[in-house]
Amino acid sequence: MSSALVWFRRDLRLQDNPALHAALEAGHTPVPVYIHAPHEEGSWAPGEASNTWLHRSLAALDADLQARGSSLVLRQGDSQAELQALIDETGAEAVYWNRKYEPATQPRDATIKRELREQGIDAQSCNGSLMFEPWDLATQQGGPYKVFTPYWRNALTRLHIPAPLKLPDTLPAHDARSVSLAELKLTPTLNWDQQFWEHWQPGEAGAQEALTVFIDGALNGYRQQRDLPDRVGTSLLSPHLHFGEISPWQIVRRLEAERSAGRDADIDGYIRELGWREFSYHLLHHFPKTPEHNLNPRFDSFQWARDNPSQLAAWQQGRTGIPIVDAGLRELWATGYMHNRVRMLVASFLCKHMRQHWLHGARWFWDTLVDADLANNTMGWQWVAGTGADAAPYFRIFNPVTQAQKFDPNARYITRWVPELATLPVKARFAPWQTPDLLAQHAPSYPALPIVDLAAGRDAALTAYRRTGGE
């Protein structure tokens, strides 16, 4: 039987995996391989939280393959050289993979495909992670979308759910050599990720389980509850989606099967959020410099405050003195995740009140989020900073106190992550510096004042904005 390499990357699942399916359909013995090549991601090599997730996800994928009679081959080094070495060792006639869309990897993959084909190897790439290819949708003028609503309106007219791809119960064995998972050195030496695993189960089974939990629970009322950080009101599927442990089509199929009059609005609302993910890949493809550069060039002359390492450290460590901001950054450190509403608030505080460049925040998220994703993270930061597509205008500045009162009205989220405020009256937990005696008595270790005065920070941000020509 001929063999084919199935090159796993951001598609760490067996079900509904187009590259694996294509290899099997062509009658090959699949040789599943993962090549660890972080240097090929340019300045966005995966951060520590991503790596520790990846470690567990690769272990899960290998276990799933072994349960079917195959196994995962691990390699590290230069992707093209490793593929070539494996072709030479196994005599593979074909290489199949699912596409990645990061600016650093797209041209590299195109070169690999061309050079493999020149040797007579059947090299095929598939779409295993998006509902639409980033280049599929265009405005009436034929250009990229910069506004989500018309993008999604167009997308919905073309949404045809494909049938799931079949996977046999057993896979043929191969005898390709692998390095050990430990050799990839993906886990942090200081074990700071210990607490993560109370919250997460990386791998395909964990992804399916998270989807089931969501459908049975938070999906009911998703549209209202997704903004409330004091409860599990969302699917928590983002790291699973990032690593391709589940595909958006698998999610959409399961949700469609749940439709009923009472659930339609929540299901549509959820699929719309998946639409934001699609939109972020559309933007990253058409504006590949945006991980580092403003999408809106007007902000190139914006006067960010001078770098301030001690203030930045206070923000990173959740010591700003603004409870909702500190709660979010502490949740991130403890779990590798932060609620979307709180991501917006901590990002806004950094870019507007502190007037620090959004890249400082994007880099911190990149290293600490288990769902760190170049397309989503770039869009999220540029959206909040007001520098991106369809962005919140810079002059609209979230007030973290009133936002917390609105979205965390009983201060439950704040209290969970900033427990030193727990004995303050609930009302005082949103802006504790306004009741200094109570703060000193109940939480002497908490900052007495915010690192930036909210009114002064807001005024300075608006002044800087006006200098760029804004109203």
Nearest-approach distance from CB 239 to ligand FAD, in angstroms = 8
Q: Of 344 and 428, which CB lies nearer to ligand FAD in the complex structure?
A: 344
Cβ proximity to ligand FAD, 364 vs 430, nearer residue: 364
Closest residue to ligand FAD: CB criterion: 380
Question: What residues have CB less than 8 Å from 450, skipping those under 6 apart?
Answer: 320, 321, 322, 433
In the complex with ligand FAD, which residue's Cβ is closer, 276 or 433?
Answer: 276
CB of 64 or CB of 245, closer to ligand FAD: 245
**What CA–CA distance (Å, rounded) separates 120 from 206?**
39
Q: What span, in angstroms and rounded, lies between the C-alpha atoms of 284 and 374?
A: 8
Q: How far is the CB of 266 from ligand FAD (least distance, A)?
A: 11
**Closest distance between ligand FAD and the C-beta of residue 251, in Å?**
8
- The answer to whether 35 and 75 have CB atoms below 8 angstroms apart is yes
Active site residues: 273, 276, 304, 340, 358, 381
Q: Least distance in Å: CB of 103 to ligand FAD?
A: 16
Q: Which residue matches tokens 């590259």?
A: 19
Nearer to ligand FAD, 10 or 174 (CB): 10
Minimum CB distance to ligand FAD, residue 225 (Å) = 10
In whole angstroms, the minimum distance from the beta carbon of 292 to ligand FAD comes to 15
- Within 8 A by CB and 6+ apart from 373, the residues are 238, 242, 280
> Rounded to an integer, what distance in angstroms lies between the CA atom of residue 70 and that of residue 172?
6
The footprint of ligand FAD (CB under 6 A) covers: 226, 234-238, 241-242, 273-274, 276-277, 280, 340, 343-344, 347, 365, 369, 371-373, 376-377, 379-381, 384
First to last CA, the chain: 69
Task: CB nearer to ligand FAD: give 74 or 271.
Answer: 271
Beta-sheet strand order (sheet of 94-98): 73-76, 29-36, 3-8, 94-98, 122-126
C-alpha span between 386 and 315 (Å, rounded): 20
Residues 6 or more apart in contact with residue 453 via CB below 8 angstroms? none
User: Is residue 56 classed as helix, strand or coil in its secondary structure?
Assistant: helix
Q: What is the residue-wise DSSP string for 196-234? A: GGGT---SHHHHHHHHHHHHHTTTTTHHHHTT-TTS--S
